[in-house]
Amino acid sequence: MNYYVKRVIRSFVTLVLVITITFGLTRLMPGGPVDYMRAKLRKQNPNMPSEQIDQMVQAYVGVKPDEPIYVQYLNYVTSVLQGDLGESTYYNEPVVQIYAEAIPWTLFVLGTAMLVTFAISISLGALLAYKEGSRLDSVVSTVAIVMNSVPYYVAAIILIAIFVTNLGMYPLSGRTSLGVTPGFNLPFIVDVLRHATLPMLSVIITGFGVQTLAMRSNSIRVLGEDYIRVARLRMLPTSRIANQYVARNALLPIYTGFVIQIGFIFGGSIILEDIFQYPGVGYYFFNAITARDYPLMMGGFLIISVAVVIAVTIADLTYGLIDPRAGAGGDSSEAY
């Protein structure tokens, strides 16, 4: 069977397993979503018939409480595959609608931060490899190690203390300010960037270190390869050697990690968006946990898991495009 077909089938099976695990874990929780919703509705509506309460529970969590567990599972899988993740008990809105509105904002903040981090790391790591042993190499490597040891949420708190509390340069919460008209206009764009700057910055300054050191290490290793010496003996232009020989081969080990890291965007947004009160996927997921909003929690867990599966699949399917040695196919071409 074609490698790409096998990989897509494997990803689909993984998604079904993720849905199954999501269903099983929430049932194993003390006072699971069905029992919790039933008790909550009965407390709010003591005179409501049991049949009507079961119907409302089904509307929220997507399963009928009086059905066997395997029927509940099949109904849940069917609902998820149809895009029905139930209704939030905290926001009283469909879970799909809440996350559909939040996903673009999370992708904007963390996606931009990761792209900027990647660009800085690659450029800086390659520069340090060519300047190996210099004062610049020592200083930047030390800074990279120190910043890599700082958790992003610690950096976020420090940035808030400096730029929000003391200097008042940036807003503390929200995606936009009140009174700003949404649309493709300069005031709205500037306002969006002001709200997203500190969350982005906290990811960039704590995330560039490890990739910079990885790129530096890979570039130094490639610079010592025989084919680089041959290229220099052939008097090839330095820029061609740097871009086509060194950078491309040094990037290969980093590429897979970068693509997979994109899949962890939603998972990494939980604490960050709660600190900045930025209404994205992580913000709603954190609120779902604190409010025991099971439908919203299950939907968030599912979105985070699906994003990781998709990222791993993309890494596998595209690795052969940048590394011809992996393009021959077979299991050896898997990137992860």
**In terms of Cα–Cα distance, which of 259, 287, 265 is closest to 105?**
265
Q: Answer for the pair 8, 316: CB distance below 8 angstroms, yes or no.
A: no
Eight-class DSSP state of 276? T
Task: Give percent above pLDDT 90 in the chain.
Answer: 20
Mean pLDDT of the chain: 83
Q: Answer for the pair 117, 211: CB distance below 8 angstroms, yes or no.
A: yes
The predicted pLDDT at position 336 comes to: 47
- Work out the pLDDT band at 99, boundaries 50, 70, 90: very high
The predicted pLDDT at position 325 comes to: 63
Q: Answer for the pair 302, 18: CB distance below 8 angstroms, yes or no.
A: yes
- Work out the pLDDT band at 101, boundaries 50, 70, 90: very high
Q: Answer for the pair 280, 273: CB distance below 8 angstroms, yes or no.
A: yes
